[in-house]
Structure 1
Amino acid sequence: MTSTTRSRATAVVVGGGPNGLAAGALLAKAGLDVTLLEAADEVGGGTRSYDGLLPGLLHDHCSAIHPMAVGSPALRELELERHGLRWLLPEVDCVHPLDDGTAGVLMRSVAETARLLGPDEDRYRALIEPSVRHWDTLAGEVMGPLLRVPSHPLLLARFGLPTTLPAVALARLFRTPQTRALWAGIAAHAFRPLGRPLTSAIGLGILVSGHAAGWAVAEGGSQSIARALEKALREYGGRVETNVRITDHRQIPAADVTLLDLDPGQAAAIYGDRLPARTRSAYRRFRRGPGA
């Protein structure tokens, strides 16, 4: 190891899910000496696939449709297509069928979707279209850190005000059961009771990003995203160590930057009394939501 290499800032990422992989790759691209530690025998976390039923018939462990990823500024910066990632876009993004044989249908085009929603056409366009039109600018605001001064406050406020509503309250904006059903199915990705404040946020984020970038799937399953991220991390000099389970902070190598791609309960177990009491208590109360 040269003296130049030793002088580089170092980073350790614990957890090789998509967030850990993306963070590690971006840090490595910025010039840090990055090591990623993953407890399983392969990286990916929720972005993994398997053919457990029939050879060649792929099933995703968790994530399957990726409207936020295909439009992500961070993933775009990593140029994952160079590492084999190919997005596939359907003609019809989503359908929510009803018992009477009708359905709420989501197309890539806002105008076409709104037209199919009949009496709700104007309201749907008014809610969704302005944010879709400015998504390239808005994406960085929506996907960035929460506690910061936004670069485009008016644009963010236009998108953000409806997201504060409970999803059931926003549903009352629509007149037809087809539009309400379509909205409810998408808003349910919040995995919280839809009468709670802010439960419109996830649904609106998925709708806007989907209209802007498409409801994409990764060719070869969601594992292809993890593989591309791992290749990007290694391309920029990062290292990946699998089968390394961290249960105590003293197992983590010393580094200038330490990132945890773990759930709050795991973070509390690793850092224990080193966390502020209120933070530790909140992390230990964390309960996982249901899987989709």
Structure 2
Amino acid sequence: MADAVVVGAGPNGLVAANMLADAGWDVEVLEAQPEPGGAVRSDRGVHPDYVSDLCSAFYPLGVASPVMRALDLERHGLRWRHAPAVLAHPLPDGRCAVLERDAHATAAGLDAFGEGDGEAWLRLYGLWEEMGEEVLRALFSPFPPVRAAVPLAAAARRAGGLRVLRSLLMPVRRLGEQEFAGPGGPMLLAGSALHTDVFPETTAGAGFGWLLAMVGQRYGWPVPEGGAGELTAALVRRLEARGGRVRCGTPVASVIVRGGRALGVRTASGEAVRGARAVLADVSAPALYGGLVGWDDLPGSLRADMRRFDWDHATFKVDWALSGPIPWSSPEAARAGTVHLSPGMDALTDYSAQLATGRVPSEPFALLGQMTTADPARSPAGTESVWAYTHVPHRVAADAGPDGITGVWDERERAAMAGRLEAVLERLAPGFRDRVVERRVIAPPAFQEHNANLLNGALNGGTAMAHQQLVFRPTPGLGRAETPVAGLYLASASAHPGGGVHGGCGANAARAALAHDGPAGRRLLTPGLAALRRLLT
């Protein structure tokens, strides 16, 4: 018997387990896969000499998040590596917008795109310097962020008050049009916004783009030395040093509920594992509600809410082992760890419209990682380990391209979509295909084989759009880790604050478990929040 059982050894589950262990709890983590990590894992499956990251790869929020920083994972073997430049966006005319490690260097490069564009970038970065750290503290706190609200409000007022809020609530296209004369700055912001499933015309897209770009400007977009799995390994080592345990190859079939309270879990083999004080679930909301917890133990309204739950887009990914660096037409792109691939803002809008209408994009916007550029340990000297991914519809209505992709994702469709990505690269880097030694194609259904939470490669645990954020995440309610079952907490990216490897969802679940534990929490906090939830829903 443990004090707490954590279902799932993804980054949120491991962060939650570490925080509970720090509080002196005995913690057991149960993971269905043969190794921990969830979406934070690496292998040599493309080529034995090349390290490839299975899902996530760059971790700007991992180094910026107060939650992750507090764990001090560097003391447990984690080493961050940075590419010479953070992000590049090459354009068809040979120009390239580059997010450099230094803000003034970024600004100097953007001045070549339009008069005053460097000053505009520094103005946006000035907002970050004024209020960025307060934004991070509020973002990764339980909702509502009571303690963080006052300093955030004060910082926002100093930065411009309602005018700043208005700018961040804009579509990212509109912010780019207002602030910049040329396309360089807008593409850095818009590409960053599209790391989620927001479109160039989506309300608050500017806020997403600004946040990720400015985190990159302040902290970089680093990678773990040796592969994404090294971040997971550091979390596991830290947990084990505090007496916690991780059991892999142990899928959980159900949460044991008696009298409205979670008592533990039952594994697929029939083993009952007691969680005397709490059960924390690092699983998607649809996998928890009506899955691990049956509808008989949940309010009727939740069934309808789960039918309305919105996933973010499906993902298609290709990993390559290259014999040499990518031969970019724009040499500046070779210095960046991450490269965004799209010919311009209108192309991003077309791509987004095709996704919204269920069509496989004809000109896919792709995120590409030059992993050996960021971390030389990823492949032999003079070579490059590379990946690129794009989004596709969950249900394919049609193919906007010429290949007749239907969404069955058989060998022909996988090859056709991989070829479409390679064609985008070949236009920007002629000769790219000649350097391919091996490749691995990961179509949407395969992501669930790596991590059951990633339905068709939905990377963010549910849409990042406003209708499923804050008090609406994952369903209308309190926007907190508490669930309708006492002692059970949602610790995955389906909970506030959502997707990204920042540990905030797991930390919020751990904080909730600690707050509800003991006589005061059970007498006051638990019934009080339950009453408020009934009132709101």
TM over 0.5: yes
Could you tell me whether the CA contact under 8 Å between 2:131 and 2:156 is conserved in 1?
no
Amino acid at match of 2:176: A
Residue in 1 that maps onto 2:232: 226
Amino acid at match of 2:139: V
Residue in 2 that maps onto 1:280: 303
Equivalent-residue separation in structure 1 for 2:176 and 2:150 (angstroms): 30
Number of residue pairs the alignment of both structures matches:
285
* Alignment counterpart, residue 257 of structure 1, candidates 257, 266, 278: 278
Amino acid at match of 1:168: R
Residues 1:217 and 2:239 aligned together: no
**TM-score, with structure 2 as normaliser:** 0.50
* Alignment counterpart, residue 165 of structure 1, candidates 170, 178, 193: 170
Alignment CA distance shift 1:277-1:200 (3 Å): farther
Residue in 2 that maps onto 1:3: none
Equivalent-residue separation in structure 2 for 1:165 and 1:260 (angstroms): 34
Residue in 1 that maps onto 2:249: 243
C-alpha deviation, 1:156, in angstroms: 5.4
Could you tell me whether the CA contact under 8 Å between 2:138 and 2:145 is conserved in 1?
no
Could you tell me whether the CA contact under 8 Å between 2:198 and 2:205 is conserved in 1?
yes
Could you tell me whether the CA contact under 8 Å between 2:42 and 2:228 is conserved in 1?
yes
Equivalent-residue separation in structure 2 for 1:76 and 1:183 (angstroms): 25
Residue in 2 that maps onto 1:124: 121
Instruction: Tell which deviates more after alignment, 241-250 or 42-51.
Output: 241-250
Instruction: Tell which deviates more after alignment, 154-163 or 70-79.
Output: 154-163
Amino acid at match of 2:104: A
Residue in 1 that maps onto 2:468: none
Question: 3-state DSSP class of the match of 1:271?
Answer: coil
Question: 3-state DSSP class of the match of 1:248?
Answer: strand
Equivalent-residue separation in structure 1 for 2:165 and 2:13 (angstroms): 27
Residue in 2 that maps onto 1:31: 24
Equivalent-residue separation in structure 2 for 1:161 and 1:275 (angstroms): 39
Could you tell me whether the CA contact under 8 Å between 1:141 and 1:156 is conserved in 2?
no
Greater helix proportion: 1
Equivalent-residue separation in structure 1 for 2:9 and 2:207 (angstroms): 26
Greater strand proportion: 2
Over the aligned positions, Cα root-mean-square deviation in angstroms equals: 2.2
Question: 3-state DSSP class of the match of 2:252?
Answer: coil
* Alignment counterpart, residue 54 of structure 1, candidates 47, 56, 60: 47
Equivalent-residue separation in structure 1 for 2:236 and 2:66 (angstroms): 18
Alignment CA distance shift 1:278-1:156 (3 Å): farther
Question: 3-state DSSP class of the match of 1:258?
Answer: strand
Question: 3-state DSSP class of the match of 2:46?
Answer: coil
Residue in 1 that maps onto 2:292: 270
Could you tell me whether the CA contact under 8 Å between 2:30 and 2:250 is conserved in 1?
yes
Residue in 2 that maps onto 1:181: 187
Amino acid at match of 2:136: A
Q: Which whole-Å deviations, capped at 9, do the CAs of 1:34-85 have from their partners, x for residues lacking one?
A: 1111111111011000111221311111111111101222222222112110
Amino acid at match of 1:272: G
Residue in 2 that maps onto 1:42: 35
Residue in 1 that maps onto 2:154: 154
Equivalent-residue separation in structure 1 for 2:140 and 2:85 (angstroms): 25
Equivalent-residue separation in structure 1 for 2:29 and 2:150 (angstroms): 31
Amino acid at match of 1:195: E
Equivalent-residue separation in structure 1 for 2:204 and 2:299 (angstroms): 27
Q: Which runs of 5+ in 2 are unaligned?
A: 257-264, 267-273, 316-388, 390-537
Could you tell me whether the CA contact under 8 Å between 2:173 and 2:186 is conserved in 1?
no
Q: Percent identity?
A: 33
Equivalent-residue separation in structure 2 for 1:162 and 1:278 (angstroms): 36
Instruction: Tell which deviates more after alignment, 85-94 or 135-144.
Output: 135-144
Alignment CA distance shift 1:280-1:16 (3 Å): farther
Could you tell me whether the CA contact under 8 Å between 1:12 and 1:37 is conserved in 2?
yes
Alignment CA distance shift 1:30-1:163 (3 Å): farther
Equivalent-residue separation in structure 1 for 2:167 and 2:38 (angstroms): 32
Equivalent-residue separation in structure 1 for 2:133 and 2:248 (angstroms): 35
C-alpha deviation, 1:133, in angstroms: 5.6
Alignment CA distance shift 1:163-1:280 (3 Å): farther
**TM-score, with structure 1 as normaliser:** 0.89
Could you tell me whether the CA contact under 8 Å between 2:67 and 2:140 is conserved in 1?
no
C-alpha deviation, 1:145, in angstroms: 2.4
Could you tell me whether the CA contact under 8 Å between 1:166 and 1:200 is conserved in 2?
yes
Residue in 1 that maps onto 2:485: none
C-alpha deviation, 1:151, in angstroms: 4.5
Question: 3-state DSSP class of the match of 1:131?
Answer: helix
Amino acid at match of 1:53: V
Could you tell me whether the CA contact under 8 Å between 1:247 and 1:270 is conserved in 2?
yes
C-alpha deviation, 1:122, in angstroms: 1.9
Higher Rg: 2
Could you tell me whether the CA contact under 8 Å between 1:86 and 1:219 is conserved in 2?
yes
Amino acid at match of 1:270: L
Could you tell me whether the CA contact under 8 Å between 2:88 and 2:97 is conserved in 1?
yes
Alignment CA distance shift 1:95-1:39 (3 Å): same
Alignment CA distance shift 1:11-1:164 (3 Å): farther
